[in-house]
Structure 1
Amino acid sequence: MNKILYVHNADFSKPCANRIQVLNMCKAFKNIGVSITLMSFNCDKNIIKNIYNEDIDYNTISLKPFVNYYFRSLLLFLRFLTIKNDYNHIYTRDLTFAFLVSKFFKNKKVIYELHDLSNGKMWHFLFKRTFKNLQGCVVISKGLKEELIKNDFNGNKIHVLHDGVDLEKFDINISKNEARGKLNLPKDKTIISYTGSLQSWKGYETFLKSYDYLKNKENIVYLVVGGSKEHINRLKEKYKNKNIIFVPFVENSKVPLYLKASDVLVIPNSSKYEISVKYTSPLKLFEYMASKRPIIASDLPSIREVVSENEVLFFKPNNEKDLAEKIKKHIKDKELQKLAENTYEKVKKYTWAKRAEKIIEIFNN
């Protein structure tokens, strides 16, 4: 297997889920014995260490970022021209870059990873012309593949690979009370948690509103981990009279501690957005599953691609009252803890290493 160049059009000094996913994939490639190089913006090893608390042992090519997305794509391509002879296998989440490399370098094997469908004419123009030259197209949900096939794209070139998890990182050996002690969280309360970014389609508002429908609120704490400090400050003001703890964005290496400190974990994705209903493969779902904590999730096709009633308790999307009912059920029925054991067994199929191995198979076809 030749070396892989992983190209991502993002500024790694501004952390979010897609950067974390890329770092996990690069680490997985390295761990299965592949020579991997990450090319992106502000992705040198010192920045990765300072922001993500990750020591990386693979090569990086770090560029200075610019605001315009398409200009950044062009910069990535121009940099690629200086190293093109070193890499015959290209993996990227940047469509413009994939288009340029696959068009002008037919001898390169290019895999493009797709996470959502754009409504923009430019995107559709590029994707149609890029797809025919790709070695393969990786999508993160069956919904995405079905939509592409519906639009006459060859399903044989489209590979569904859901997101994954690092089991060693998220199944840490620490008790609930020990985790709460480290995080200064109350040990005598039931903690219901949401971790992740605070985008509307992820349904965090449904989670927060469900608090009003709970009984025995004095014994329950909601914990929200994620979002900018400015956004968190606004939410603190809005929900100041409720027993809700807000923690702004923390580096991914600290998330396992918050999950282990929790009694129940919630995925409240909204049904009002197509990306949420059909296209997403939430990182938090796999992280939750690896933490061995009970999960309550929106009943959506994108979630059911991975889990069923044998692993999680579903609630009606955008229905804060039903979410509250399911939370009360989880608190009352301790037998539901067995669902968490089932999720852990299932998540073993969704490690980053297994995902990386499947990508190598696509390159070798």
Structure 2
Amino acid sequence: MKQFIERYTSFLKVGMVGAVGTGIQALILVFLVEFLYLHPAIANTIAAEAAIISNFILNNLWTFKNRSIHALPKRFVMFNVSALGSVSIQAIVVWAGVVFFGHSLYLLYAVVGIGIGWVVNYLLYSRFVWRRPLHKDKTISTLYYIANARMPTEKAHGIQIAKMCEAFLEAGVNLVLVLPRRGSPGKSIKDFYGLRKDIPTVTLPVIDLHNKGPFWYHVSSYSFIISYFFYILLCVDKKHSVIYTVDLDRFSYRALSYLGVPFFSEMHGGKPSNVLHRKFFSKASGIIPTNYITKQELQEKFHMPEEKFLVEPNGVDLSSFAPFSKEEAREQLGVSKDSALVLYVGRIFDWKGLDILTEAAPLLPESVTLGMVGGVAEEYERIAGHKPNPRIQFFGSQPYARIPLWIAAADVLLVLGTKRDEQSYHYTSPMKVFEYMASKRPIVASKTPALMDVLDPQACYFYEPDNAESLAHTIEEALNDNGQEMRIEVAYKIVQKYTWNLRAQRIRTFMNQLLKDRSI
């Protein structure tokens, strides 16, 4: 935030100095055109040079007074060279205005040219004429986590972003979360997710129509691209910055390759090979896929070296999902203690293959209840295309803080997956898997490549994807298995290495190994 204020202040100061220069330029321009009858384009060039001299003096004494890295004559030469671009832009704008719209509005043309030149001037002045001194040793950089997401949100990606930001901060990373300014619940990110730390956040203006359909989602997302692009360009010290992002969509991260700042990206799925993606992956400092299938596909498709990849599945906060008494959890939740509860925890999306529950429910004993936390029957019907079996009990969306309690109330926990969807079958790395393992409950999981990437057969019970009979049989096996405790302990041992804090530490080490002139 300190750097943001400093950059914003210097940008305004350049504008104020420019305003003084504009006044000088306007007076000289009028004099040269009205009294000496020079062509407006030639007169504007002479007037602009006079303004440049004024601007140099004021910028040197006020705007950038703490950046004395060149002798005065050398800096003045650099200032004039840098200003040539702005002067050329102004001359072109005035000339074009006179040619296409007539002589009488020459002052308006000059003002338009000056406005464009203002932005160009600031970039050239701050990057070249009064640039910061270069550091020979590695410098500690700020990690800007850019996410095209409404935060806080009840969706899983919001939990992942919040927990990773917290883990980076606890690992000692100087982090700023960069978000679009969208409508969200009234709670802070810290309070909403029950975090231990406040997350330093910058929210940028966007066209907030992301929930009005696909077209407007793209409009909103592209407005965020423009906002974060100019935020990084104008308000961030690029010499002391590193960018981190996650693929919440297929396009909003791609502009990072044009900013000239080292960037790392989490990848939760494969990507099509096109010009923009090839540019993105060629410029990326490193990629963090969430499973080995994604890593292999990206490496082969975009010809990236092995050392630029770190495979890191999602994680869990072990303190939030510590083992808890099933009886006490059901009592607090008001859930019946008379039946075995087989629970699916997660939001209802079509790519998850949830329709299998309707087929599996009548195949289970009457003493077994199938439960869903994360949605209601109407959502299920809309996604599945049919009414849910009456044996399925819906508990609706629940606050994130109560999810550990619901998981503790279960006898068996479900992780679904389908062959009918590429994301579900090959790429997903659901956080619920790690939350389940930490909660010490038996896990029944779809035998998809994505889930087999993180789940050991000795730590869970696999069923055949899209096979309701296999699912029902596996649920009964998990409920009645005398070796249940052994699988639970194997899972609990595995999950110890999948905490958010360890994940953040490994990613930080990975990034520092690849960064040449800075560290985080």
Query: Do the structures match in fold with TM over 0.5?
Result: yes
RMSD, aligned CA: 2.5
SS of 1:170's partner is: coil
Out of 197-206 and 257-266, give the one that drifted further. Answer: 197-206
Q: State which of 371, 375, 387 in structure 2 corresponds to 1:238.
A: 387
SS of 1:92's partner is: strand
The equivalent of 2:227 in structure 1 is 75
Per-residue CA distance 1:96-132 (angstroms, 9 max, x = gap): 5644343232xx221011112345x7xx322210111
CA distance in 1 between counterparts of 2:150 and 2:376 reads 16
8 Å contact kept, 1:143–1:279 = yes
Per-residue CA distance 1:67-121 (angstroms, 9 max, x = gap): 322222222222223431175111012575644343232xx221011112345x7
Higher RCO, 1 vs 2 (CA within 8 Å, ≥6 residues apart): 1
Is 1:143 the counterpart of 2:293? The answer is yes
Per-residue CA distance 1:2-52 (angstroms, 9 max, x = gap): 221111001125431111111110011111121211111347983425654
SS of 1:10's partner is: coil
The equivalent of 1:84 in structure 2 is 236
Structure 2 CA distance for partners of 1:208 and 1:27, relative to 1, 3 Å: farther
The equivalent of 2:325 in structure 1 is 175
Q: Report how far residue 148 of structure 1 moved.
A: 1.6
Is 1:166 the counterpart of 2:317? The answer is yes
Is 1:24 the counterpart of 2:163? The answer is yes
Per-residue CA distance 1:308-333 (angstroms, 9 max, x = gap): 21101110001111110011112222
Q: Report how far residue 292 of structure 1 moved.
A: 0.6
CA distance in 2 between counterparts of 1:100 and 1:52 reads 30
Per-residue CA distance 1:134-157 (angstroms, 9 max, x = gap): 110111111111112232421421
Normalised TM-score (structure 2):
0.64
Is 1:341 the counterpart of 2:489? The answer is yes
Is 1:112 the counterpart of 2:261? The answer is no
Residue type at the aligned position of 2:292: K
CA distance in 2 between counterparts of 1:250 and 1:48 reads 17
The equivalent of 1:353 in structure 2 is 501
Unaligned runs of 5+ in 2: 1-139, 211-218, 514-520
Structure 2 CA distance for partners of 1:196 and 1:2, relative to 1, 3 Å: same
The equivalent of 1:100 in structure 2 is 255
Residue type at the aligned position of 1:241: P
1:258-269 matches, cutoff 5 A: 258-269=406-417
Q: State which of 284, 304, 324 in structure 1 corresponds to 2:472.
A: 324
Q: Which has the higher helix share?
A: 2
Q: Which has the higher strand share?
A: 1
Q: Report how far residue 235 of structure 1 moved.
A: 8.8
8 Å contact kept, 1:145–1:155 = no
Q: State which of 347, 356, 359 in structure 2 corresponds to 1:197.
A: 347
Q: Report how far residue 338 of structure 1 moved.
A: 1.8
Structure 2 CA distance for partners of 1:7 and 1:260, relative to 1, 3 Å: same
Structure 2 CA distance for partners of 1:212 and 1:155, relative to 1, 3 Å: farther
Q: Report how far residue 229 of structure 1 moved.
A: 7.8
Unaligned runs of 5+ in 1: none
CA distance in 1 between counterparts of 2:256 and 2:299 reads 24
SS of 1:318's partner is: coil
SS of 2:479's partner is: helix
8 Å contact kept, 2:288–2:309 = yes
SS of 1:159's partner is: coil
Structure 2 CA distance for partners of 1:100 and 1:240, relative to 1, 3 Å: closer
Structure 2 CA distance for partners of 1:12 and 1:130, relative to 1, 3 Å: same
Structure 2 CA distance for partners of 1:103 and 1:267, relative to 1, 3 Å: same
SS of 1:137's partner is: strand
Structure 2 CA distance for partners of 1:354 and 1:52, relative to 1, 3 Å: closer
